[in-house]
A and B are shown apart, each in its own frame.
Chain A
């Protein structure tokens, strides 16, 4: 398969790449300590404080750097859980069919029937709020059904394709067929689904933190900061704007990658 670069993919990779590099730097170095409260309150953006300062006199740019890291970690872990479990469920149901398919997919339907944020709330109320690991668990479970559905269709479509039949005749076991023969062919639907899932995870985490069931201090995610910023819209509008724009940039970049991957699939087909 000729992998052709297209402008969506290129733009997405560049934007996401820049965000990633800045975030990585933010892990080791920020212009100021993100929790230091030693600057003037509500200073507007300047060369000294790129994103200004907040009500405690903290440097918002430094906080955004840290927050992006937290948000990225949560979103990546969420998508990893959702994609891994979802693809496994999709493989079992799509490839084997039968009773397992009937049971698992009805269960899947049941999960899908809940609005995702409500389901996340429900799971959080079971595992307990406040820790970023619990946020990841809650969101990860919420994300399983969409991955299961998408991959199930592909696995089912490939189940009786000739090259799979041939592999079976050669004596390949189901594990080998699923992992070696089918999984690489599922990637074309899985990768765009991962990018969409990643964006949904960023936004879902932001919503949860906004509602107060996400991360708690000293952890600060972008969503948590946005919920903080809403109380200071008048005194320091730059707080909400800069944090919000960072989320937009992150989601936009990954969204472009997803769009690029999908249009590349269309080209190949």
Chain B
């Protein structure tokens, strides 16, 4: 069990060792890359018999970018441009047709948009956060308990919610649990796929604050996917603009927002203004 089964952990991983997260900030030089996406083209096959044949529809075309250590990289674009497909490819859930995806950190995780489907409805919040540790299998019950409690405190979930099932939790609380579950194995790189889009504005602000806070506590890097340019502006350091499966513009957020080069980016910005 453990890392061997994780489709996203490639042979090229360069950092590893679970448990020394306190020291790792010192070990990782500034501006080191956590992820390289190199000329990736990917898509879906439909039809065919028993998984063979069928029609190939390409969604991502020659996508090329890096995520640097410690940064929050925004990925914006209209719905249907392939943002989530890119997330799936990065996580190893979808095999690229061309190009390669190189992870420099183990166990990348994802926080999903819909906090209703990201938690197992049959189990409590506590169970969902503990499950990754059970799968990992290296900690005893006491150690798991300690880590789960610590994580639930960090995501500021009220204690009376620990044993609640997802349908007894609010959207914001569910998202806190999802974040705790994603971070419990101490990943260094997390994809957040529209993590606040399903939430009220006030809850959005709280969750964004939490994500920023956790980035600092756990020395994380994010790929933050959103269609909401205002949220990206608040949170992100750099931004990628995606259109029809291509990255059409990228750069520091301020630069892209103040001086958009592409017509598409201008339209997006106007639409969200």
Name A residues whose Cβ lies closer than 8 Å to a Cβ of B.
1-2, 97-99, 102, 161-163, 165-173, 176, 181, 184-185, 268
Contacts and interface: CB of A to CB of B under 8 A. Distances in A.
A171 B5 contact: yes
Contacts of A165: 93, 110
A221 B114 CA distance: 53
Contacts of A102: 49-50
Contact of A163 (B118, B135, B136): B118
Nearest to A164: B120
B132 A170 contact: yes
B93 A172 contact: no
Nearest to A163: B120
Rank and list the top 10 A-B pairs by shortest CB-CB distance, nearest first: A184-B122, A99-B50, A162-B118, A171-B5, A170-B132, A162-B117, A162-B112, A163-B120, A98-B51, A171-B6
Contacts of B119: 163
Contact of B135 (A99, A161, A176, A185): A176
The interface residues of chain B, by DSSP majority, are classed as: loop
B2 to A, nearest CB: 5
Contacts of A169: 6-8, 91, 107-110
B109 A171 contact: no
B121 interface: yes
Contacts of B109: 166, 169
Contacts of A181: 120
Interface string B160-173: 00000101100000
A152 B51 CA distance: 18
A190 to B, nearest CB: 13
B185 interface: yes
B182 A166 contact: yes
Given A162-B114, A173-B1, 18 more contacts: A1-B122, A1-B165, A2-B168, A98-B50, A98-B51, A162-B117, A168-B7, A169-B107, A169-B109, A169-B110, A170-B131, A170-B132, A171-B2, A171-B3, A171-B5, A172-B135, A173-B5, A185-B120
Contact of B118 (A98, A166, A172): A166
Interface string B115-127: 0011111110000
B22 interface: no
19 contacts: A1-B121, A1-B122, A1-B165, A99-B50, A161-B117, A162-B114, A163-B117, A166-B182, A169-B110, A170-B6, A170-B132, A171-B2, A171-B3, A171-B6, A172-B5, A172-B135, A173-B5, A184-B123, A268-B167
Nearest to B49: A102
B162 to A, nearest CB: 17
A51 to B, nearest CB: 45
Q: How large is the interface on B (under 10, 10 to 19, 20 to 34, 35 or more residues)?
A: 35 or more
A239 B50 CA distance: 56
Contact of B167 (A1, A99, A166, A172): A1
B122 A185 contact: yes
B11 interface: no
B130 to A, nearest CB: 11
Contacts of A1: 121-122, 165, 167
Interface in B233-273: none
Given A165-B93, A185-B120, A185-B122, A99 B1 contact: no
Contacts of B2: 171
Nearest to B120: A163
Contacts of B123: 184
Contact of B110 (A99, A166, A176): A166
Interface in B93-143: 93, 107-110, 112, 114, 117-123, 128, 131-132, 135-136
Contacts of B185: 170
Interface string B1-34: 1111111100000000000000000000000000
A269 B135 CA distance: 30
Contacts of A171: 1-6, 135-136
Contacts of A97: 51
A167 to B, nearest CB: 7
B157 interface: no
B225 interface: no
A25 to B, nearest CB: 36
A57 B120 CA distance: 60
Contacts of A173: 1, 5
Contacts of A166: 109-110, 112, 118, 181-182
A269 B51 CA distance: 33
B59 to A, nearest CB: 16
A185 B120 CA distance: 8
Nearest to A101: B50
A178 to B, nearest CB: 13
Best-surrounded residue of A1, A97, A170, A181 (most CB of chain B within 10 A): A170
Nearest to A100: B50
A167 B131 contact: yes
Contacts of B128: 163
A97 B50 CA distance: 8
